[in-house]
Amino acid sequence: MIAGLGGLAASAISFSMTLYEAAHPPKVPVVQAGQQIDTGRWFVTLRSARVGTVPPTGVPPSQPVQLVMVDMDVVNRSATPNNVLYRVVAISAPAQKLEMPTAYLDRDKYLAGYFNPNMPERLTMAWEWPADVPVPDKVTVTVTGQIYKLRDNLYGASGWYDRDPVARVDLPVEKVP
Amino acid sequence: MMRVARSVLALLFAVAVLYGMQHTRPLYSDITSPIVASGGMNRRVEASAFALSLDRVRVARVLNVETFGKSKTYTSSGVWLVVEGEAEAKFETLGLTSGEWLSGSGVRYVLTDRVPATIEMMPGDVYQPGLPRHVLLMFEVPEDAVAGGTVVVARTKLLPLDDEIRIATNVSGRDIEPELTIRRNHKGPSWTVLPQR
Amino acid sequence: MDSSPAKVTSARRGYWPSMAALVVALPAALAAQTWGSIRDWRAQHVRQPVSATLGQPIDYAGASWTVTRFTRLTGIERSTVVLAEFEARAADPKALGAIPCEVRLADGSREWKPTLFADPVLRQQYPEAEQRSLCGGIAFAAMEPGQPARMVASFSIPAAASSLTLSIALYSALPNYLSVSEPQP
């Protein structure tokens, strides 16, 4: 009986918290381009954005696409290599879900693999922009925070977990061929 | 009255026990950690399914990779570690797909995925029982992660409670060569690390 | 939260039989849960050899199998290439093609998986082997009923290895597997 009431109370609290959060979205600080953002797991410094048809490899794809490319510097601050930057850095198109971006390592002008801990790298993330949507003059990049849990609630395993956005950066979109 | 007090005490006790258990029990990663066989350089270290020996670790700022006449230069914000040795399966054919450089402070670096697969690195190879073969491992690490590093090799990263070999290297981190070239060979040993020494 | 005396007694009376039932129910639940896994493990690890002779057909897994060749080729340095050729005539090759096939070479303590035509020794000394396919789906896909599906497996082993046995296992026929010993020169 008491357990049932407790469960009911818990779900009521959780539901009202969700409602409250939806009604009061957290204020995300607006950060200037070139300023380092601490996401917990990464240091991210957004540089510039451009729209083009050729990815950083220099090889145009067989079917022409519109790519929105964002240049940035990153440092992996955790103790293990990682490559899931798309969960940390995101842009959005009006009324459409963008495909997962591709990351290119500037050093190699090639697909980026893992980012090793404490090794700063410059990279370009490229999103395929829908053909029927005009690319705006500026994009808003949302940077999401991650926290480290020594023990998660399910297995007691250690890991990084996504949190709320920590910064929003407006970048003017250069037009390059 | 007494009864309520007793219930409250029992509840508090249960909370304390649960809290204590949550914070003293080993981490999930410790419970499922691999079974480690450790050793040093220049000797054969045996795990239950395979054996590994490492002969040489070289450190360089720039890595050139020559595959069949094509050459590509790989720069780094840190340094390149080129490790050579020999691995052998003991009882059944297997692959060794996981290689890590564990820095003295406990930070992990995995085998580089920047160098093309045409260079036969350890993970792509198959190891046959009774036929030891040379292995080449390449890591990209910051300069301060070189000294006191350990090479960790396992069949895969995903199998809990499997074998793992850890070899403590003897690199000081002071002897850094300006550049190293890995040349893929047509005949004889699969690759040569240049300049030879 | 007090209960009437009648209720207490009925709860008391139910206590011990319930405990006893738990002793039976708990292991039963565990056994039911793990039974499938135990069966799979047994099928994989507890195997029954079906001895076959080189050149002699034998019925296995709904087909007639013949191991036609089991020889060593000269290798490089301390290694040797072992070549095994075999064929199967099945009434229903399509059904056989859907079943995973596992070919191994063993010497009592060690076990080798086939190499995948990668061996330059094999390509040089026995190029015909490339005309044949590995055991499994592709080998049976193009076959008419009753026609032999020709297959091959090659192994890279130390030259010193002796008393070799070739084993062919189709997962549908486990725990039985075909076992052929290397012919003595």
Identify whether residues C103 and C167 lie together within a single domain. yes
For testing contact with chain C, the best of B88, B92, B93 (most C CBs within 10 A): B93
B90 min Cα distance to partner chain A (Å): 30
User: Which chains reach chain B with 3 or more Cβ–Cβ distances below 8 angstroms?
Assistant: A, C
Confidence (pLDDT) at A18: 80
ipTM, two decimals: 0.81
Q: C112 phi and psi, to 5 degrees?
A: -110, 140
Please state the rounded mean pLDDT for residues B175-190: 86
Do residues C152 and C82 both lie within one domain?
A: yes
Give the integer Cα–Cα distance in Å for B23 and C180: 57
Q: Is residue A5 part of a domain?
A: no
> Which candidate from A113, A119, A156 shows the least CB-CB separation from B28?
A156
What pLDDT is attached to residue B119? 60
B108 touches chain A (CB under 8 A): yes
**A119 inside domain:** yes
Q: Please state the domain count of chain C.
A: 2
Q: Identify whether residues C39 and C96 lie together within a single domain.
A: no
Considering the domain architecture, whether residues C41 and C52 belong to the same structural domain is answered as no
Specify whether C59 is located in the same domain as C42: no
Does residue A10 or residue C9 have the better pLDDT? A10
Range of the domain at A154: 29-175
Residues of C in contact with B125 (CB under 8 A): none
User: Same domain for C65 and C100?
Assistant: yes
Note whether C108 and C60 are same-domain residues. yes
Tokens representing residue A108 in the block: 């190699």
pLDDT for the residue numbered A45: 95
Residue C8 binned pLDDT confidence (cut-offs 50, 70, 90)? low
Max avg pLDDT among B117-121, C71-75, C177-181: C177-181
C-alpha separations of C41 from A40, B164, C106, C174 in Å: 44, 24, 20, 11
CATH number, domain at A60?
Answer: 2.60.40
The domain tally of chain A equals 1
Residue A100 located in a structural domain: yes
Looking at residue C6, what is its pLDDT? 56
DSSP symbol at B98: E
**Is the model's pLDDT at C99 over the cut of 50?**
yes
In a domain, A44, yes or no: yes
What phi and psi values does residue A61 have, to the nearest 5 degrees?
-65, 155
Mean pLDDT score of chain C:
81
d(CA B134, CA B86): 4
Q: Do C110 and B126 touch (CB under 8 A)?
A: no
User: Is the pLDDT confidence value at C131 over 80?
Assistant: no
Alpha-carbon gap: B195 to the closest alpha carbon of chain A (Å): 23
Q: Report pLDDT digits (tens) over B72-130.
A: 899 999 999 999 999 999 999 998 888 999 999 999 999 998 887 656 666 778 899 99
Give the β-pairing of B108-110 and B126-127. Answer: unpaired
> Would you say residue A132 lies in a domain?
yes
- Mean pLDDT, residues A72-101 taken together: 88
Q: What domain range is C9 assigned to?
A: 1-46
B3-35 as b/e, with b when 16 or more CB fall inside 10 Å? eeeeeeeeeeeeeeeeeeeeeeeeebeeeeebe
Please name the fold of domain B29-194: Immunoglobulin-like (2.60.40)
CATH code for the domain of C77 = 2.60.40.1240
